[in-house]
Structure 1
Amino acid sequence: MCWFDQTKWQCGYWKWDSFRGQCNKEHRMGETCGLKLINYTTEIQANCKVCDQITKKKRRVKKMSEDVQRWQYEGNRWATIEKTNDDIAEINGQIEDLMRLHDERTRSV
């Protein structure tokens, strides 16, 4: 039951911040008992880093999809279209991983 500050973003994502106090269960200097309690929560009215990464990757996928549509209309870049579609699939997988990470963190504490 050691005390820590917490930072929380508007999307619900949070992280532990500074150590504030030691409980009476742990007597060794510099050690914590492992049970974290919130001393103070700082709310930030902005997107967290994970949300920013998701937004950037979605913009990139949108741009790549528009490029593929244009190239298909032009009809002369089949290898480029195939590679770009593979890249889109890879980035969509990264987006899913980031969203899973974000959801796990927002559901806890």
Structure 2
Amino acid sequence: MCFYNQKRFSCGDWSWTSFAHRCNYEYRTGETCGMKLVNLTENDASKCRLCEKIETKYRRRSAEVDRLERWKREGATLVASMDRSQTLIKELDKEIYILQREREDKRNTLHR
């Protein structure tokens, strides 16, 4: 039951930061007991790493969809580019899904 500081992000996620102080249950010098308790919570206006990655993928996907729609509207003859764009959108969808699952798995394991 050693105490650590915690950082809470604007998205609701959190992470451990610095070690605050040791409890009385560990007698070995320089060791901690292994149980983490919150000493102080620091609020951070930014989002966590996973949320930032997901937002970046969404922006990239949106730009690619806009580009594809513009090419279709203008009647572009660049079929290979349009196919590549559709493939890229599917890949981004998969990456977004994987990141969202990772975020949900992390939240579910911490709330049990």
TM range (shorter): 0.7 to 0.9
> Which structure 2 residues correspond to residues 1-109 of structure 1 after superposition, within 5 A?
1-73=1-73, 74-107=75-108, 108=110
Shift of 1:41: 0.4
Percent identity, aligned pairs only, is: 33
1:91 and 1:50 mapped to 2: Cα distance? Answer: 15
Q: Say how many residue pairs are matched.
A: 109
Shift of 1:7: 0.2
Aligned amino acid, residue 51 of structure 2: C
> CA contact under 8 A between 1:13 and 1:105: conserved in structure 2?
no
- C-alpha RMSD of the superposition: 1.8
For the residue of structure 2 that corresponds to 1:76, the secondary structure is coil
Q: TM-score, normalised by structure 1?
A: 0.84
For structure 2, which runs of at least 5 residues remain unmatched after alignment? Answer: none
Q: TM-score, normalised by structure 2?
A: 0.83
1:101 and 1:19 mapped to 2: Cα distance? Answer: 26
For the residue of structure 2 that corresponds to 1:17, the secondary structure is strand
Q: Which of structure 1's runs of 4+ aligned residues deviate more than 4 A?
A: none
1:44 and 1:63 mapped to 2: Cα distance? Answer: 29
> CA contact under 8 A between 1:9 and 1:47: conserved in structure 2?
yes
> CA contact under 8 A between 1:12 and 1:106: conserved in structure 2?
no
Aligned amino acid, residue 6 of structure 2: Q
> CA contact under 8 A between 1:4 and 1:39: conserved in structure 2?
yes
